[in-house]
Structure 1
Amino acid sequence: MKRTIRTTALTVGALIGALGLPAGPAQADTTAPRVDLRVLVVSDGGPATDAIAAELDAAGTPYTKVDLTRSDRPAIDPGFLADTVDGRPRARFQAVVLPNDNPFAAGSSEMTALTAYEKTYAIPQVDAYTYARPQVGLQVPTSGGYSGSVDGTRAQVTAAGRSGPFGYLDGAVPFEDNSPTVGESYAYLSAPVAGADFTPYVQATVPGTTRQGSLVGEYRHDGRRELVVTFVYNQYQQQFRLLARGIVEWMTGGVHLGASRNYFAVHVDDVFAADDRWDTQLNCTPGDVDCAGGAGTPHPIRMTPADVDYATAWQNSHGFTLDLVYNGAGSVDQREDDNGADPLSDKLIADRDQFRWVNHTYSHAFLGCEQNVTVVPWTCQTNADGSTKWVSRATIDYEIATNRAWGQSVGLPLQTEELVTGEHSGLRILPQQPQDNPNLAPSLADDGVKWLASDNSRDPEQRQVGPATTLSRYPMNVFYNAGRTAEQVDEYNWLYSSRAQGGSGVCEDNPATTTCLPAPLNTATGYSDYIVPLETRIALGHVLSNDPKPHFIHQSNLAEDRIAYPVLNGVLDGYDALFAADTPVVNLRMKDIGTELQRRAAWKSAVQAGRITAYRIGDTVTVQSPGGTAVPATLPSGSTYVGNAFGTAYAGALSGWTASSGTALTFTLPASATAAPAVPAATATATAAPAPDTEVPTGVTEQVPYTPDS
């Protein structure tokens, strides 16, 4: 995809007159303009503007999108950009995002209107991806710079970036290089033009030299401010995810609706119980439904007291808390088999306050349809009339209530409204069980369950099941039936190798969702060299996407070779290397994650329905939202709400939710946030020649797949 960039002549006095607006910023709040807290995103259909829109969506920041590829789009004229409300001039957008510095044809009245609007109201402009050239304050790349691939480059935030909009980063901005055969990142690296008021925020070394070239920087000129981005990206790439927060903070001046944090939670299922082990000869799991006819001999995997000590020490060293999702029958059965002894349970119960605990049902029973496990894959049993045979309400009640009672009897600090059923059963499972067990919702009501886990790979959207709201969890590709690395790699090879390579061929049968390994992994090195980096990258991608959904593994992964820890270390240690201390990972428990997602859904619905009004006049921000819809906002440190402290500190700002009764909410900004940044006096500029096309490599238009399983 290529776009031609052009500039147009500016005649400032005529532009401001055309808008019908005051010639300069008002000097007092009584005449200060109203600036609506909404972003204008002008898209050319490319990945960069779409990535910024996705960031605004995720945070809950309202925006209006104008698609330049549509013939029925609105014209960007003075009336579209500004008007008057109650006698006060109103800027309808607090920031403008363009595909590049000027995506319009030469002499465009739309660029003329935008230029005048930005000058009049001190509205910043983001050039989502533009060519390095003097019109954006940079030398052309042929003047000692560079244009080309930056796959695998390690860029750096400058001192100005760290003291400014990118202060939440520790310094490094690594660029992805997920595929040696796909171009994923393209950039123009260049130094500022001599005399230009240009401040680099993120830069990288020009290949073959020691010179630095700007990737992200601020250009101040002609009474305007532009954030000039000279590398292309999509919403999934790590380099964008690292910089997205700073781009939004820069363009909004740190004052906007919506909030973004970096979340990570890990659920450990089947605690107290044992997990069946993968059989490397049979290529199935004896004791589970994938071994036809009950083949093989089960060899269960179960944690030991030493594994509990390791987990506690690991938590303490990382400032992180695991959620242990437990089955009480595992302890009861062990004591029955060993004359009342169960050192693992004794240790876990003694250390119970070190962890968070979640009900996983008493015996991990399957709570959907009654299964026919004589065939692989299993099927639902049916009644004489052909209807599905469902596990009864009494059985579901027993599994939930008995496990809760057992946990309370040993003093586990439970939140009784949280539940994870075994295998997320009871909920629909395609293709065998396309609907929820109709007995599940009444049982959830019987037992006071408000938050019910689902599997994000098959039930990703939050939904109601009776009184409960689902919370989808990300499955990590660290298998429940593996306690040792060799078992993990053997099963991985079986799943993701072709039949010709000795695998199951599942990857060949489902090419739309799964990619075959180019060759089976080495069982001695494949885990550390391939699986761990891959799973780390996927999980860290969720963390960097303002996504609070938890990940889940199993107690077997904390036993024996403790294969989960390399991935967890990769995520948390990798995160710490990228972010400043004021931007920690947020580690929430299940019900708090559910509440966060529920609030977001309500807010998104209100925004999409046009029921949110928000604006800033001077040092006051006013937000009107429907009663019962909490308002997310991000404001500078020192901001207050009705005279009291607002939100909590994160990434150098304050953010949080404020309950709304339907009346206007009023926030007060600190004095340091009320002055508009100084810009040079407005002057006319000459028409420039069209800029060279900006390159968009194949791999940047969508996420480069993580092989074998994206």
Structure 2
Amino acid sequence: MGRNGALLLAAGLLAVTAPPTVAGAATVPRIDLKVLVVDDGGAAVDALESELKGSGVPYTVVELDRPGRPVINAAFLHDTVDGRPRAKYQGVVLPSADPFGAGSAEMAALALYEQTFGIRQVDAYTWAHPGVGLDYTSDGGYAGTLDGVDAAVTPAGKAGPFGYLDGAVEFEDNSPSVGESYGYAGRPREGFTSYLDMPVAGDGGGRAGLVGEYVHDGRRELVVTFAYNQHQRQFRLLARGIVEWLTQGVHLGQSRNYFSVHIDDVFAPDSRWDTELNCTPGDFDCGDGEGAGTVPVRMTAADAQYAAQWQRSSDFTLDMVYNAGAGEEWKAENSANGGSDPLTAQLLADKAAYRWVNHTYTHPFLGCVQDTSTVPWQCAKDAAGATLWMSRADISAQIRDNHNWAVGKGLSVDRTELVTGEHSGLKTLPQQPVDNPNLGPALADNGVKWVASDNSREPVQRAVGSARTVPRHPMNVYYNVGTAAEMADEYNWIYSSRADGGSGVCETNPGATCLEEPLDTDTGYADYIVPQEARTALGHVMANDPRPHYVHQSNLAEERILYPVLDQVLGDYRALFADNTPVVNPRHRDTGAELARRAAWDKALADGRVTAYRIGKTVTVKAPSGVVAPVTAPEGTRKQLFLGTAVFGTAYAGQRSAWTAPDRLQQAVTLQLPA
């Protein structure tokens, strides 16, 4: 460093009030369980914010470019509470190794803070250079596009923050014409431990680091040398470990990898897509006739046998969302003299293998009375112009009769769970902008607490009377197809331009993208749709998203086109994650309760009503009455009870975590960390 640089650094240090000396002091400092995020508006910091927010970790954001932003100095970073030194943040996320500029007083304040209190720093995205413990890329490293690169978690990464991964981290390469990832890989210098590396050519080959820990000057930095956003698989794989490293494995919030699949319309038939008319006969905009080749799609007994066998071999449970009355109607119409139905018989024989969810008795539309004289339909009105609604009594009967049928057949149905047909009864824009006012009372009549909604329309849980919604992800495997060719044909109609023979909807919908060319109906489903849909679903799984996915019984019938998607999701997941991080398969009510807890927790954080800190090996968490707190801590942590202690939480991804509240007669949650 030259003389001028030394003077600048000295001036910066003089501008910083020195924190209290902690090392060797009699008073152990208090470390508040909150993260400081310095945001430059880039995708990498945004991705880390999304991980913190999604898992319930409290954080404070300082926007670098916002006029009047707080100055990061000693007073901002620490103070004294009850005579004890307090660090206000347990970790620091920076957009790069030094976003403030060389010799800045703010960076000097942060460095001194980290040294004094043992606080860690994540450099969200930086280039490989000696300042972060790496050689320049010209010295046997790499700089460029990372699309398709097979990176690997190193032994140190497996033993450290990324022990929940099986080792492989392949960078996404979803389009050969678009560069999706760029980064730098540098050879480690002294003090740098690589956690994720890649093979490099030149100078004898070997491997160079992409993510690693740099220990220097009494500080610890986690250095990330590639660009990413919150949706890319490589980030989603590493996000958990970055947070665990940053917080030293002790933080508010928790994360799981969830995957549940609802099979709607079980027992009922589903209408079939007409490849000539390019619509589904029976729909309001598809004429009056059934059309050629449009026999409804319905599972057979053999399909039911296959479903049960697939569950056993895949170690995964499906949720059967059933319409008993629609099945009875089909049986009466299609069996001689209303005789037996092999499908129903087989599903009931295997009833214990599945979870069952009420889908109403005959699957009617539970919202307004539909006037189908126009396309699209509209809500019918009475003479005074008031909307006509399905009655409370009729809605209640649909719920009650379906539940009672299941109880009579010995199904493990829970009356608190409900999926209405087409999510009807809930507001449906643009025709029905409000819920059917009779829906909430009918739900209460039947003890329903959790009613499904469509995540593509309503991603946020909300109240419907005394019940709450459970948003579900629609999978792009259509309800009205039984074969791969039908699926590809309908997909082409929706996603092809008019010039290519499609509907052109993709040209007018700003949220859609047209196919470059229509899919081959013989191969398009397996080669294009399956990988795309599996990738989307796996993205939800890895984002701590408990919302279930939903498809229809038709997708388990005929060519059973759902299974390739599920097989790829589960296969890819199990190849990526270690055995200590199994996929979690919650039922409908559990998802509803999880989302409700999260909403209450987020509100408590936003209102500033949560206090949480660590003093030595003791963690204290205080939340408002009635709000349970998500907490993550290392293996060996114990929770203080009114009498004695107990093992804290449940094991997941090498840590222990739980939603937790104080024991009786206690005002706060107290955890004792392992030595």
TM bracket, shorter-chain basis: over 0.9
Question: Take 2:6 and 2:463, find their aligned partners in 1: how far apart are those partners?
Answer: 52
* Gaps in structure 1 of 5+ consecutive residues: 1-5, 672-710
Q: Is the alpha carbon distance of 1:282 and 1:14 closer, same or farther for their aligned partners in structure 2, counting shifts above 3 Å?
A: closer
The residue number in structure 2 matching 1:399 is 398
Offset of 1:394 from its aligned partner? 1.8
> What CA deviation, in whole Å up to 9, does each residue of 1:370-427 have, x standing for no partner?
1123433222222122222211212111111111111111111101110000000001
> What CA deviation, in whole Å up to 9, does each residue of 1:326-370 have, x standing for no partner?
000133224423232101101111110000000000000011111
The residue number in structure 1 matching 2:473 is 474
User: Alpha carbon RMSD of aligned pairs, Å?
Assistant: 1.8
1:574 aligns with 2:581: no
1:310 to 306, 311, 315: 306
1:143 aligns with 2:139: yes
Name whichever of 459-468 and 384-393 sits farther off: 384-393
Q: Is the alpha carbon distance of 1:15 and 1:598 closer, same or farther for their aligned partners in structure 2, counting shifts above 3 Å?
A: farther
Q: Which amino acid aligns with 2:667?
A: T
Q: Is the alpha carbon distance of 1:207 and 1:322 closer, same or farther for their aligned partners in structure 2, counting shifts above 3 Å?
A: farther
Q: Is the alpha carbon distance of 1:287 and 1:7 closer, same or farther for their aligned partners in structure 2, counting shifts above 3 Å?
A: farther
The residue number in structure 2 matching 1:282 is 277
Q: Is the alpha carbon distance of 1:344 and 1:7 closer, same or farther for their aligned partners in structure 2, counting shifts above 3 Å?
A: farther
Question: Take 1:386 and 1:353, find their aligned partners in 2: how far apart are those partners?
Answer: 49
Work out whether residues 269 and 327 of structure 2, in 8 Å CA contact, stay in contact via their aligned partners in 1. no
Offset of 1:179 from its aligned partner? 2.5
Offset of 1:12 from its aligned partner? 13
The residue number in structure 1 matching 2:327 is 331
The residue number in structure 2 matching 1:694 is none
Question: Take 2:303 and 2:285, find their aligned partners in 1: how far apart are those partners?
Answer: 28
Q: Is the alpha carbon distance of 1:15 and 1:553 closer, same or farther for their aligned partners in structure 2, counting shifts above 3 Å?
A: farther
1:199 to 182, 193, 204: 193
Q: Which amino acid aligns with 2:478?
A: F
1:648 to 642, 647, 650: 650
The residue number in structure 2 matching 1:184 is 180
Question: Take 2:303 and 2:356, find their aligned partners in 1: how far apart are those partners?
Answer: 17
1:341 aligns with 2:340: yes
Question: Take 1:573 and 1:560, find their aligned partners in 2: how far apart are those partners?
Answer: 23
Work out whether residues 389 and 436 of structure 2, in 8 Å CA contact, stay in contact via their aligned partners in 1. yes
Q: Is the alpha carbon distance of 1:8 and 1:42 closer, same or farther for their aligned partners in structure 2, counting shifts above 3 Å?
A: farther
Offset of 1:15 from its aligned partner? 7.3
Work out whether residues 454 and 471 of structure 2, in 8 Å CA contact, stay in contact via their aligned partners in 1. yes
The residue number in structure 1 matching 2:231 is 236
1:270 aligns with 2:272: no
Offset of 1:454 from its aligned partner? 0.3
The residue number in structure 1 matching 2:602 is 604
Question: Take 2:11 and 2:319, find their aligned partners in 1: how far apart are those partners?
Answer: 60
Structure number with greater CO (CA < 8 Å, separation at least 6) is 1
Q: Which amino acid aligns with 2:135?
A: Q
Q: Which amino acid aligns with 2:382?
A: N
Work out whether residues 22 and 29 of structure 2, in 8 Å CA contact, stay in contact via their aligned partners in 1. no
Q: Is the alpha carbon distance of 1:409 and 1:468 closer, same or farther for their aligned partners in structure 2, counting shifts above 3 Å?
A: same
Offset of 1:189 from its aligned partner? 0.8
Alignment of 1:420-439 (within 5 A): 420-439=419-438
> What CA deviation, in whole Å up to 9, does each residue of 1:117-169 have, x standing for no partner?
01001111111111111111100111121111101112100000001100000
Q: Which amino acid aligns with 2:445?
A: D
Q: Which amino acid aligns with 2:193?
A: T
> What CA deviation, in whole Å up to 9, does each residue of 1:545-591 have, x standing for no partner?
00000000000000100000011111110000000000000000000
| SS of alignment partner, residue 292 of structure 1 | coil
Alignment of 1:64-75 (within 5 A): 64-75=60-71
1:665 aligns with 2:669: yes
| SS of alignment partner, residue 358 of structure 1 | strand
Question: Take 2:138 and 2:480, find their aligned partners in 1: how far apart are those partners?
Answer: 56
Alignment of 1:66-465 (within 5 A): 66-193=62-189, 196-206=190-200, 210-294=205-289, 296=291, 298-337=294-333, 338=335, 339=337, 340-465=339-464
Name whichever of 366-375 and 589-598 sits farther off: 366-375
Offset of 1:254 from its aligned partner? 0.4
Work out whether residues 378 and 431 of structure 2, in 8 Å CA contact, stay in contact via their aligned partners in 1. yes
Q: Is the alpha carbon distance of 1:399 and 1:521 closer, same or farther for their aligned partners in structure 2, counting shifts above 3 Å?
A: same
The residue number in structure 2 matching 1:586 is 584
Question: Take 1:13 and 1:73, find their aligned partners in 2: how far apart are those partners?
Answer: 19
Work out whether residues 269 and 330 of structure 2, in 8 Å CA contact, stay in contact via their aligned partners in 1. no
Name whichever of 301-310 and 475-484 sits farther off: 301-310
Question: Take 1:85 and 1:207, find their aligned partners in 2: how far apart are those partners?
Answer: 54
Offset of 1:178 from its aligned partner? 2.0
**TM-score normalised by structure 2 residue count:** 0.95
| SS of alignment partner, residue 35 of structure 1 | strand
Work out whether residues 13 and 105 of structure 2, in 8 Å CA contact, stay in contact via their aligned partners in 1. no
Q: Which amino acid aligns with 1:300?
A: P
Offset of 1:8 from its aligned partner? 10
Name whichever of 630-639 and 328-337 sits farther off: 328-337
* Gaps in structure 2 of 5+ consecutive residues: none
Question: Take 2:603 and 2:9, find their aligned partners in 1: how far apart are those partners?
Answer: 40
Question: Take 1:617 and 1:461, find their aligned partners in 2: how far apart are those partners?
Answer: 36
> What CA deviation, in whole Å up to 9, does each residue of 1:266-322 have, x standing for no partner?
000000111011110111111233413345264111111111111111111221110
Q: Is the alpha carbon distance of 1:266 and 1:25 closer, same or farther for their aligned partners in structure 2, counting shifts above 3 Å?
A: farther
The residue number in structure 2 matching 1:488 is 487
Name whichever of 446-455 and 173-182 sits farther off: 173-182
Work out whether residues 451 and 468 of structure 2, in 8 Å CA contact, stay in contact via their aligned partners in 1. yes
Instruction: Give the count of matched residue pairs.
Output: 660
| SS of alignment partner, residue 129 of structure 1 | coil
Offset of 1:7 from its aligned partner? 11
The residue number in structure 2 matching 1:513 is 511
Q: Which amino acid aligns with 1:667?
A: L
2:630 to 610, 632, 641: 632
Question: Take 1:542 and 1:98, find their aligned partners in 2: how far apart are those partners?
Answer: 26
Query: Deviating runs (4+, > 4 A) in structure 1?
Result: 6-17
| SS of alignment partner, residue 262 of structure 1 | coil
Work out whether residues 334 and 341 of structure 1, in 8 Å CA contact, stay in contact via their aligned partners in 2. no
Question: Take 2:600 and 2:624, find their aligned partners in 1: how far apart are those partners?
Answer: 10
Q: Which amino acid aligns with 2:628?
A: A
Question: Take 1:207 and 1:322, find their aligned partners in 2: how far apart are those partners?
Answer: 47
**TM-score normalised by structure 1 residue count:** 0.91
Question: Take 1:299 and 1:185, find their aligned partners in 2: how far apart are those partners?
Answer: 47
Name whichever of 557-566 and 380-389 sits farther off: 380-389
Question: Take 2:405 and 2:419, find their aligned partners in 1: how far apart are those partners?
Answer: 16
Offset of 1:210 from its aligned partner? 3.4
Question: Take 1:207 and 1:293, find their aligned partners in 2: how far apart are those partners?
Answer: 66
Question: Take 2:623 and 2:655, find their aligned partners in 1: how far apart are those partners?
Answer: 23
Offset of 1:207 from its aligned partner? 5.4
Work out whether residues 40 and 96 of structure 1, in 8 Å CA contact, stay in contact via their aligned partners in 2. yes
Work out whether residues 12 and 116 of structure 1, in 8 Å CA contact, stay in contact via their aligned partners in 2. no
Q: Is the alpha carbon distance of 1:170 and 1:11 closer, same or farther for their aligned partners in structure 2, counting shifts above 3 Å?
A: farther
Question: Take 2:358 and 2:502, find their aligned partners in 1: how far apart are those partners?
Answer: 36
Offset of 1:13 from its aligned partner? 13
Q: Which amino acid aligns with 1:242?
A: L
